[in-house]
Amino acid sequence: MAVKRQALGGQGLAALIADNEVMAPIAKKPETDPTKEEGQNAILYVGLDDIKPNSKQPRKSFNEETLEGLAASIEAEGVIQPVLLTKAKTGYELIAGERRWRAARKVGLKTIPAFVLDVTDEEKAKFALIENIQREDLNLIDEAMALRALVNDEGMTHESLARIVGKSRSYITNMLRTLDMPPEIVELLWNGTLTLGHANALGAVKDIESQIGLAKKIAKQGNSVRETERMASAMSEKRTTRRNKKDSKTNEMRMIEQELTSSVGIKVVIDGNRDGGSVNLHYFNKEGLEEIIDLLRKTGK
């Protein structure tokens, strides 16, 4: 079939968005009808087997329940809104509308209404991301990975990404930061147990093990973002207090610690000063404990 391709004509992403919002009156169109409507928004019917998914698609998983619902709607009413395609080396590649394409395959359709457009790889990636963010909740980590791909592969800035997706620059920065969090936390974000707000709050905890422990705790307890902020703040303040207390130790006390450690052969830590405190003897195994006990018994005789 001869295909009339629609170029963007310098209009960029705005042209794509305008096309995707066209609601074509084509429900119940015969499956075998290969015709297309002439004009700026030329619609044609393309074989489902001739279409492959968007290689820039940010969504890695599709909710089967909502997909089944869409399939039922398509079976009853047909595909109301055309998908967006671009020409591939063989057949076509989706720009937007993968859920419609998958649902149409579920109900056994052979063709699907489509607009065929000339787009660059960057425009394809941008529009796939925009469609997912604006039309259905996208998995937080999938979205973050798509944003990072646009930064790394297309050289886009946080500011330009913010304009494209209609979010703030800080939103983009915070989303990208989630990918640098420990795998245990990334998994909780991916499955929706934790939100971006939780991730931002957890960022205040600099110790990785403490951060992971707190994340698991709030995931189990179902704490709100506000509660997580308070918990993370308290944990950070406690750690800072301990660090400041440790740093306040005088050089004299440090020298005494070293002298005692060398003398008795056991790690000695002094918590306090000449006016008061405690002397801690550290052991790391059963033998170490027995050694300390023997030392104290000898000292008491």
Give me the active site residues, please.
98
Question: Are β-strands 276-282 and 111-116 bridged in parallel, bridged antiparallel, or unpaired?
Answer: unpaired
Distance set, CA 282 to CA 200, 250, 263, 274, 290 (Å): 37, 20, 14, 21, 12
Q: What is the Cα 222 distance to its own chain's centre?
A: 19
Cα torsion through 231, 237, 243, 249, rounded to 10: -140
CA distance 202 to 7: 46
Helix (H) or strand (E) holding 250: none
Cβ atoms of residues 13 and 126 within 8 Å: yes
DSSP output for 19-55: HHT---S-TT--TT----B-STT-BEEEEGGGEE--T
Tokens for 245, please give them. Answer: 């207390």
Hunting for tokens 């006390």 — which residue is that? Answer: 253
Distance set, CA 199 to CA 78, 162, 195, 214 (Å): 41, 19, 6, 11
CA distance 291 to 268: 13
Cβ atoms of residues 196 and 178 within 8 Å: yes
Q: What is the Cα 71 distance to its own chain's centre?
A: 28
